Structures are given as C-alpha cells and as structure tokens.
Structure 1
Amino acid sequence: MVESTVPETSADEAGLAVRLRGVTKIYDSGVAALGPLDLDVNRGEFVSLLGPSGCGKSTALRLIAGLSTPSAGTVELSPRGTARRGSHPIGFVFQEPTLMPWATVRDNVRLPLKLAHTSGSDAEGRIDQALAQVGLAEFATAYPRELSGGMKMRVSLARALVTDPDILLMDEPFAALDEITRFRLNNDLLSLWRNLHKTVIFVTHSVFESVYLSERVIVMTARPGRIGTEFRITSAEPRGEEFRTSAEYAAFCREVSNALAPSYAGRAGA
C-alpha cells in the first residue's frame, strides 16, 4: 500500500519529510530491485543515496515520487506545506535534463505550472524567481541548443523548483558533466539548499560528491538494495573549497569508500 501523504501519523509529528517502511520492489521479470528498505528523512535534511548500479537508488526515488508503486511496504510523505496554492510536495531532477528543444528556457520552466493550471502573474513571478535562483535570468529566451550541459541542468533544476516543492529528489543530475562544472553546480546546490530549506534526497555514484554535499550518506548494498551503512558528515557549515581540500573531507571519503567496497565485490566490470 502506498500513501502519498501522512494524515495523522507519527512521521509528521516527528518532523520527518519521508518515511519508508518495509519497502520492496520486485519487477514483473522477477528481478528483486529493492528492499526491504526502512528509511527516515528529516525535514530540511540533505541525504545522499550511494551504491553500485542496479542497487535500487533510482527505484527508491521513483517510489518516493509516486512514479512507481512498491511491491510491499509503505511510502509516506509529510503533508507540511502542501496546501500552499500552486505548490507541490515533490520536485524531481532526472539524470538527463529532458528539455523540450522547441521551447525557450522560460517555457521549459513553465511546464509544471502549466500542468498544474497555474497561470497569470503568479506563474510569471514563479518562473522569474526559479530562473534567478539557478542563475539563468539572462537566458530566459534562449533555446536548449544554445546552452551548455551545465546550463541545461540548471534549467531542469529551475523546473523542479518552480512549484516550490517541499522535497527535492535528484537522480544523478551532474554525472555527465565535466569536473569543473560539476563542482560549481555542487556549490550552487548547497547554497540553494541552505537558502530554501528544502529536503533533498540525492542519488549519486560518487563518494566525493556524496560526502561534499550531504549531512547524511546512506551506503546501499548490491541488489536488492538495502541500507548497508550510514554516515553523518559532521563538518562545519557552510562548506566550500576549504572543506573539499581538507584532511577531514579526505577521511570521510575514505570511510565511505571502505563501506562501499563490499557492494562491488565480485561484480564484473565494476
């Protein structure tokens, strides 16, 4: 059974944004992709899911977003803030920007509002705000073909933010970008998270990215994915290049890498 909200359960009372209990996913082919998985994510927390390909990280995001249904277990979202006019509890940033090539940046960002029948000055104000938040205000009339890979991903992020979601789900959004662009977007994402106070659940294959971004890194086991180890990244805020080059950062990365290694043991081509 899947519940899209938590009417009066302890999850909301406990300050949780997301609660998964006994969640499994078995596909029609018989492949057991996930679980059983128990996961609590606090409101305003930045959590990364880290693990090998096929361990169910993206599956977990899709279940939280309601894009797929679990084979067993419950998925609960806190209803906090979802009554705001034109708002939505979930924003999703996929691995690929999936922009409409015939539409301007502004019209690509407008799409969720259009689907929600939000129009007029409210919609225009939201679009302006989202573009400003990701640093693309000057590119509102550009087309995707005129943008770099990093800029396209910024459009995708703006499109996820335009409905003012409570929870932001991000599925390896920076994996295809060059290292310099990826570092810059990591910094910008952290700044947005601090300023907007969103709950972020971030899927990545990168130990270094997960440690840099997250308050908590969840290392998942090989398929079927379960929680193997959790790490709290207790560095001082705000994080910047000083943290990225620090001994503390290197030590966290080493610990997380060691915990991840068993998930890759015996995997051909890993």
Structure 2
Amino acid sequence: MAGPASSEADAIAVSLGAVTKVYDNGVAALGPLDLDVKRGEFISLLGPSGCGKSTALRLIAGLTAPSSGVVGVSQRTNETRAGYSIGFVFQEPTLMPWASVRDNVRLPLKLGHVPMAEADPRVEEALAQVGLSEFAAAYPRELSGGMKMRVSLARALVTNPGILLMDEPFAALDEITRFRLNNDLLALWRKLNMTIVFVTHSVFESVYLSQRVVVMSSRPGRISAEFRIDTPEPRVEEFRMSASYAAYCREVSNALMPSYSGLVGA
C-alpha cells in the first residue's frame, strides 16, 4: 500500500545524470554515467582499476567537478540530529600521527568550529559506534590496521552524515579483519539509516555488503550491469556460506570478466 512512508523511502539521495569526467591531461576517466541511489540504500561500485569508481565518489562529494552532466546530492542530513550531508572514508586512514585517536576523530568538528561542549559527546559517541572507546587516548602508531580504519570511519561518522562514501576502505586488511569490519559496517548502516556508496575491487565483498552491486566497465567508466542482492535482513555471517551468495558471486563475476581479465576479488 503506497503512502507517504513508501514515497519517502524511494527518495533519491544521489543522482548522476550523463556525467563525464575528462582530466586536464586528456584522460577520459568516466562516463557518460547515469546512476540514482535511493535514500538509505547501500550500493557498491565494482570494476577494474582506473574505471572511474573513485572519480565517481569524488564527484558526489564535490571534491571535483564533472566535465559534463549533472551531479545531484540531497542536502537532507541525518534524521535525528543536525549534521553534514556527506562523510568520506578513504582507502588510507590518513590519520595525524601526532594526535590521539580522540583528536583525530574530533578534527572535522574542529575545522567546522563546533563548540567543545557539543563536539565532545559526538566524538565519544562516534568512538563507541566503532568499538574504540577504550583507545581514545592512544596514538595511531599503537593501533593495528583495522583499528586505524575504525578511527577513519569514526571521523566520518562524527559529522552525522546522511550519505557515507567509502573508497576501498578495507582493501589492505587481512581477511579476518575485513570480514569483521564488513559486519560492523552493516550493523552501523542499519542503526544509523545512512545511504552508503562503497567502492571495492572484490566481488565477494560487494555481494555480501550491498543491496545493489553496480558493475562498471573499463575506462571511461560506464555502468555495464547491475544486480539487486535480495536476501533476508538483517544479513548475517551465514550468508557467506549460502548457495544464494555463491550464485550471486558467479553472476557478478561473469558480468565483470570482460573488463577485469578474470582477476576477481583481487
């Protein structure tokens, strides 16, 4: 039964319309690309290196401008609190080595001139959300790779984003840590009702995490296939062992093969 609630759920958070990106050196990185992401949706962009996945994220974040086409981003923020519309987690944690975990997480609020009385509880909440409350006073050199990435995630969450962009955040981690962070990310997504656009090279990660997997072709990147991953929610670890997971991975792998030379999940 359609109504205001279902209409709201279908609202578009991110829209790319006939977007292209050509760099100053003449390299055509992207497009034309057409992509709509619904509010609250978790999608993965999957494709070979150099196909424009990261470029698409940078366009959504406003870090670079399209050569042509239109990039639309909802300015609506987190439902429960005022915040910034977009959070960005990069492939490398890029933490300040001289600053504590707490101060690294506080950085966006400090740059935004958020008063200390408001910033402190938001920092503590973000650290709790990623399981790092006990390490607030630690320094990056004292952390594992997975913990550093949790700090980077907390730094994005502290701004209360409605849209979270993630550029291969777990690519350099060992498999056990990666699986654990995948599960934690899904739990946060459900709890915070964010829209997530996640870039990865891994078929297996994209199928496990996403409601929709968008496969991109070689440069200039275009959408070559899309897959809706329909599974019961909440998605749990047993899904990795299921026949449906294996079937989705085969479908996505087959769609990726023409442009990725079979290096699936690398």
Shift of residue 29 of structure 1? 0.7
- The match for 1:169 is 165
- Structure 1: how far apart are the matches of 2:126 and 2:9? 30
Which residue of 24, 44, 62 corresponds with 2:40?
A: 44
Unpaired stretches in structure 2, ≥5 consecutive residues: 1-7
- Structure 2: how far apart are the matches of 1:82 and 1:88? 8
Hey, which bits of structure 1, 4+ residues long, moved more than 3 A?
82-86
- Structure 2: how far apart are the matches of 1:21 and 1:214? 22
- The match for 1:28 is 24
- The match for 1:241 is 237
Shift of residue 240 of structure 1? 1.6
Contact 1:86 1:118 in 2 (8 A): no
Shift of residue 217 of structure 1? 0.1
Tell me the TM-score normalised to structure 2 length: 0.93
- The match for 2:257 is 261
Which residue of 140, 145, 152 corresponds with 1:149?
A: 145
Shift of residue 13 of structure 1? 10
Shift of residue 78 of structure 1? 1.1
Task: Find out whether 1:194 has 2:201 as its counterpart.
Answer: no
Shift of residue 86 of structure 1? 5.7
Equivalence map 1:57-206=2 (5 Å): 57-81=53-77, 87-206=83-202
Contact 2:9 2:40 in 1 (8 A): no
RMSD over aligned CA atoms reads 2.0
- Structure 1: how far apart are the matches of 2:9 and 2:67? 27
Equivalent position SS for 2:173: coil
How many percent identity over aligned positions?
A: 75
Change (3 A) 1:266 1:82: closer
Shift of residue 181 of structure 1? 0.2
Unpaired stretches in structure 1, ≥5 consecutive residues: 1-11
Contact 1:86 1:116 in 2 (8 A): no
Contact 2:52 2:220 in 1 (8 A): yes
Contact 1:34 1:59 in 2 (8 A): yes
- Structure 1: how far apart are the matches of 2:183 and 2:80? 29
- Structure 2: how far apart are the matches of 1:152 and 1:164? 20
- Structure 2: how far apart are the matches of 1:238 and 1:174? 21
Tell me the TM-score normalised to structure 1 length: 0.92
